[in-house]
């Protein structure tokens, strides 16, 4: 995963410079300091999804551009077969598969997410622009959005303002699979 982090960091730096956007402007968009932002560009930290989402929005590119270095090209139809989504490895207990990575100018980012119960005690809160819909396919997940916290089970769904601090962890001893759709 270290090579992937370095590749994303390099693409991020090159895009920012090509678009003549300062590190300070990027940092302000992400609510971090310029020094912290530059550490990400140097590949010193792994990228949270909310960080990449914010960068893609500021740079006016698709998140897939940052992840793969390739621009999606399809404009009216995109098919992704079971197990063939674009793998995005961010944290060891989360496995993301982007389910529309070929489609250009998406209004939403759909993911098939699997969360393992490896570390289901510490919840990391993130926030990013837009709204989010989560639908539990299998297992259970504890989710927190601002002060609201609840456990979702198979067949349950939640829709929320993703600019609010939110996080989730697997609940129980079995992995949780869910569909996450992030609207821009």
Under DSSP, the state recorded for 48 is P
Residues 51 and 115 in one domain: no
Range of the domain at 25: 2-68
> What per-residue string of b and e applies to 88-127 under the rule 16 or more CB within 10 Å gives b?
bebeebbbbbbbbbbbeebeebbbbbbbebeebeeeeeeb
Q: Give the angle subtended at the CA of 131 by the CAs of 149 and 50, to the nearest 5°.
A: 85
Model pLDDT, residue 100: 95
Residues 50 and 92 in one domain: no
Q: 119-133 pLDDT, tens per residue?
A: 666 788 888 889 999
Residues 61 and 92 in one domain: no
Residue 166: strand, helix, or coil = strand
Q: Give the angle subtended at the CA of 96 by the CAs of 90 and 100, to the nearest 5°.
A: 125
Is residue 124 assigned to a domain?
Answer: yes
Q: How many whole angstroms separate alpha carbon 158 and alpha carbon 126?
A: 16
Residues 60 and 122 in one domain: no
Is residue 79 assigned to a domain?
Answer: no
| Confidence band, pLDDT 50/70/90 cuts, at residue 183 | very high
Contact 110, 101 (CB under 8 A): no
**CATH of residue 49:** 1.10.260.40
Q: Tokens for 79? A: 């098919």
Q: Tell me which of 19-28, 51-60, 133-142, 143-152 is least confident.
A: 51-60
Q: 73-118 pLDDT, tens per residue?
A: 998 999 999 999 998 876 777 889 999 999 998 999 999 999 998 7
Residues 126 and 153 in one domain: yes
Q: Tokens for 85? A: 């989504």
pTM of the model: 0.83
Task: Report the candidate in 45, 89, 95 with the shortest Cα–Cα distance to residue 67.
Answer: 89
* Residue 174 pLDDT greater than 80, yes or no: yes
Q: 146-156 pLDDT, tens per residue?
A: 999 999 999 99
């Amino acid at each position: 995963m270290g090579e992937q982090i370095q590749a994303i960091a390099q693409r991020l730096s090159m895009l920012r410079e090509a678009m003549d956007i300062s590190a300070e402007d990027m940092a302000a968009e992400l609510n971090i300091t310029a020094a912290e932002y530059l550490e990400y560009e140097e590949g010193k930290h792994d990228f949270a999804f909310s960080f990449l989402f914010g960068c893609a929005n500021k740079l006016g590119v698709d998140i897939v551009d940052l992840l793969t270095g390739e621009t999606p090209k399809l404009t009216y139809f995109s098919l992704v077969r079971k197990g063939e989504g674009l793998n995005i490895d961010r944290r060891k207990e989360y496995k993301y598969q982007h389910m529309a990575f070929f489609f250009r100018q998406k209004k939403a980012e759909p993911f098939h997410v699997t969360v393992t119960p490896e570390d289901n005690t510490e919840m990391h809160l993130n926030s990013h622009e837009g709204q989010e819909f989560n639908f539990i396919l299998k297992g259970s997940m504890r989710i927190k959005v601002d002060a609201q916290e609840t456990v979702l089970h198979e067949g349950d769904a939640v829709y929320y303002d993703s600019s609010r601090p939110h996080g989730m962890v697997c609940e129980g001893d079995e992995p949780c699979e869910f569909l996450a759709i992030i609207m821009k």
